[in-house]
Amino acid sequence: MISSCNRKWSHIHFSPALLAVSLLATILLPARPAGAVVWSTLFTAQDVRDHLSTEQGRQEALEFCRKMGITKVYIESFRDGYQAAEATLKAARDFFRQAGLTVSGCVTTTGIGKHSTGWQVAACYTHRQNQERLESIFRFTAALFDEIMIDDFFFTDCECSECAAAKGALSWQQYRDKLMMQISRERVIGPAHAVNPNVKVIIKFPQWYEDFQKRGYVPDQEAAIFDRIWVGTELRNPSSDEWGHKQQYEGYFIYRWLTDVGGSKTGGGWFDPFGTTPTLYLDQPLTTILAGAPEVFLFHYGALTSPDYQAQAEAMAARRVQYEKLAPFVSGWTGIPTYKPVSSDPGEEAYVLDEIGMLGIPEAPTAHFPEGARAAILTTQALGDAELVPKLLHLLAARGTAFISQPLAHRLNGDPRLPTPSPLDLDKDQDVKTMEVGGGKLVVFSDALPHLTHVDGQNRVEQLTPELRTALEELRRKVSDFTVTSLDAPPRVAVYPLGGRVAVVNYTELPVDCRLTGLAGMAHKLTQLYALDGAKLAPDGATLRLPPHAALVVE
Ligand SMILES: [Zn+2]
């Protein structure tokens, strides 16, 4: 084996063609050891003006980067109608490069001209002057940087008279999808590559993945034409009405789902300190790294050094090394395939997939129907696939199990293609129902179960009634035929199977003791591999002891 390796390497040294291939690989592959984390931050266009225009400001910014372990910076040329001065951008770029940091550019497409009639931060992209302004911003930026991130305001929900005329007989969704693809090609990627053939343009997707279809985000088509994609893994205080009661699992779900869409183009995760406490802020690096992001992007310098969010940055700096130690254990993501087609509408089940993950039910998010899988989790979103029922029948015929949410069961009821022995709808006061259909099993679960993870405006979760406790255990028992879970963990404890390892995170505000099940009996002889914030495996080798917001990795 050693001699064959030597032969292979000597070929690379002597063949010009292979030398070119190896150089290309060196350029394309991330220059980091497996499992390492690159920390990065952004200087918004306003940060560039306010903090990077003097030598002293640049030195202070560099000190911040050193303290946070940041080795890559994004220097933004445009945001909110303001374009940073070329001389300042160049001085900042060269300063950070000389200090040994990797430097990229960024553009935020807010305030470019005529607003969208919907969300004011977005633009009307039918409007020709807006298109021309957009192109000029990307031409300007591509001349300065070899990589350009686009922040997640690159969408439209405009219904102005120009848009209405241009859409003709198309639906708004069809028109916006077509328009955003067209301007991406003709006003962003094309002009940027024309100015700088080496430039890589990254599209960052917002964390609000259930609304992409309303605003012209088409992740599969955009991933195909952009050089890279990025993932918004922002989490918020789950009790916040303002932020929509977000679940921490969302950061994991969207990262894995967009990785299924974008494959190796998926470059990293991005989060900010807004709507968090220092404790909740730290759920973001933890969840983003568990999801597999090789680069963690901390938005943004001006906020993280402001009095409002300094505490978040201090907390992050104090824990950074612990997160870096977690990364080598993170690979081999598994769980029950959980299907959300691209552009699917969630109906009344928006973000239910995050809630299911918060029940300790591990998901393997996918934008493609999991053909050949032994089990799948299906919710209203799956109806975005017009071929759902035939595909489901195929899964059942292969003795598969489909976990079906109550709202989806209701919509599937009475479909002659899916004959069931009794109605799919749950009976009154019934929370889990299993029926044999087409050679496999359908497990219908009540929406009362995912709702157990909901945190209300007073920071309370619903009490587990004996009935719901029994139903949750029954659902988890069925899940344990296919993946690892916990029968006794309360809601808001997430289980992340990682190859032969399992990470467990306690997102509740109370200490939790729990056990794992579903590792084919192996769960009784666990070994602790990694612990964060005082988590530990009890001497019995089976009980996981997790303080609030703590994490444990076992095998
Ligand atoms: Zn318009």
Distances (CA, A) of 215 to 159, 175, 210, 212, 346: 11, 10, 11, 6, 15
The answer on pLDDT for 202 being more than 50 is: yes
More confident call, 105 vs 33: 105
Distance 212 CA to ligand 1 centre (A): 18
* pLDDT value of position 27: 38
For residue 116, how far is its CA from the centre of ligand 1 (angstroms)?
A: 6
CA 207 to centroid of ligand 1, rounded, Å = 24
CA of 147 to the centre of ligand 1 (A): 29
pLDDT at 11 over 70: no
Cα 259 from Cα 253, distance rounded (Å): 10
Give Cα 333 to chain centroid, integer Å.
Answer: 14
pLDDT at residue 367, rounded to an integer: 98
What integer is the mean pLDDT of 252-264? 98
- CA 349 / ligand 1 centre spacing (Å): 29
Cross-strand partners of 365: 338
In the structure encoding, which two tokens stand for residue 145, read together?
């940087």
Ligand 1 midpoint to CA 166 (Å): 9
CA distance 98 to 101: 7
- Predicted local distance difference test score (pLDDT) of residue 12: 30
Instruction: Output the CA 282–ligand 1 centroid distance in Å.
Output: 39
Distance 260 CA to ligand 1 centre (A): 32
What integer is the mean pLDDT of 334-353? 98
Does residue 33 register a pLDDT over 80? no
Distance separating alpha carbons of residues 87 and 55, to the nearest angstrom:
13
- Burial of 145: CB neighbours in 10 Å, binned 0-12, 13-18, 19+: buried
Separation of 186 CA from ligand 1 center, angstroms? 18
Q: How far is the CA of 107 from the centre of ligand 1 (A)?
A: 21
Quote the ligand 1 centre to 165 CA distance (angstroms): 9
Q: Please list the residues that pair with 505 across neighbouring strands.
A: 494, 551
Q: At a CB cut-off of 8 Å and minimum separation 6, what does 460 contact?
A: none
Share of the chain above pLDDT 70, in %: 93
How far does residue 351's CA lie from ligand 1's centre (Å)? 29
442, 435 Cβ separation under 8 angstroms: yes
Residue 261 confidence (pLDDT): 98
Please tell me the distance from the alpha carbon of residue 427 to that of residue 413, in angstroms, as a whole number: 13
Q: How far is the CA of 123 from the centre of ligand 1 (A)?
A: 8
Q: Please give the distance, rounded to the nearest whole angstrom, from the Cα atom of residue 233 to the centre of ligand 1.
A: 29
CA of 344 to the centre of ligand 1 (A): 24
Transcribe 343-394 into DSSP letters: T---TT-TTHHHHHHTTT--EEEESS--TT-SEEEE-GGGGGSTTHHHHHHH
Q: Percentage of the chain surpassing pLDDT 90? A: 91
Mean pLDDT of 264-284: 97
Please give the backbone phi and psi of residue 496, each rounded to the nearest 5 degrees, phi first: -120, 100
Average pLDDT of the residues in 102-109? 98
| Distance of CA 244 from the midpoint of ligand 1 (Å) | 27
CA 127 to ligand 1 centroid distance, Å: 6
pLDDT tens-digit readout, 283-341: 999 999 999 999 999 999 999 999 999 999 999 999 999 999 999 999 999 999 999 99
Structure confidence at residue 228 (pLDDT): 98
User: 8 pLDDT band (50/70/90 cuts)?
Assistant: very low
Please give the distance, rounded to the nearest whole angstrom, from the Cα atom of residue 114 to the centre of ligand 1: 8
Beta-carbon-side half-sphere exposure of residue 73 (alpha carbons within 13 Å): 32
- The pLDDT assigned to 490 comes to 97
Q: Is 50 exceeded by the pLDDT of residue 21? A: no
- How close is the Cα of 174 to the center of ligand 1, in Å? 14
How many A from CA of 41 to the centre of ligand 1?
33
pLDDT at 522 (0 to 100)? 56
Q: Determine the Cα–Cα distance for residues 441 and 421; give it in Å rounded to an integer.
A: 12
pLDDT, position 34: 56
CB atoms within 10 A of CB 182: 12
142 Cα: distance to centroid of ligand 1 (angstroms): 27
Ligand 1 centroid to residue 163 C-alpha, Å: 4
pLDDT tens digits for range 62-84: 999 999 999 999 999 999 999 99
Crossing angle of the two packed helices 86-98 and 55-68, in degrees rounded to 10? 50
165 pLDDT tier (thresholds 50, 70, 90): very high
Separation of CA 124 and ligand 1 centre (Å)? 4
Q: Running DSSP on this structure, what letter comes out for residue 42?
A: E
158 Cα: distance to centroid of ligand 1 (angstroms): 4
Using only the alpha carbons of the chain, give its radius of gyration. Answer: 25
For residue 56, how far is its CA from the centre of ligand 1 (angstroms)? 43
| Ligand 1 centroid from CA 110, angstroms | 15
pLDDT at res. 519: 66
b/e per residue 317-341 (b: at least 16 CB within 10 A)? eeebebbbebbebbeebbbbbbbbb
- Residue in 284, 454, 288, 487 with CA at minimum distance from that of residue 356: 454
Measure 161 CA to ligand 1 centroid, in angstroms. Answer: 7
Residues 393, 418: contact at Cβ < 8 Å? Answer: yes
CA of 238 to the centre of ligand 1 (A): 34
Per-residue pLDDT, averaged over 140-166, amounts to: 98
Among the listed residues 470, 506, 475, 471, the one whose alpha carbon sits nearest the alpha carbon of residue 491: 506
Cα 219 to middle of ligand 1, angstroms:
22
Give the three-class secondary structure for 253.
Answer: helix
Mean pLDDT of 165-179: 98
At residue 90, does pLDDT exceed 60? yes
Ligand 1 centroid distance, CA of 117 (Å): 7
Contact status, residue 149 vs residue 105, Cβ threshold 8 Å: yes
Position 523 scores a pLDDT of: 56
Q: Report the pLDDT value the prediction gives residue 14, as an integer from 0 to 100.
A: 31
**Region 420-432 average pLDDT:** 94
Copy the structure tokens of residue 251. 């950061």
Q: How far is the CA of 170 from the centre of ligand 1 (A)?
A: 15
Q: Distance between CA atoms of 320 and 57, rounded to whole angstroms?
A: 24
Separation of 140 CA from ligand 1 center, angstroms? 25
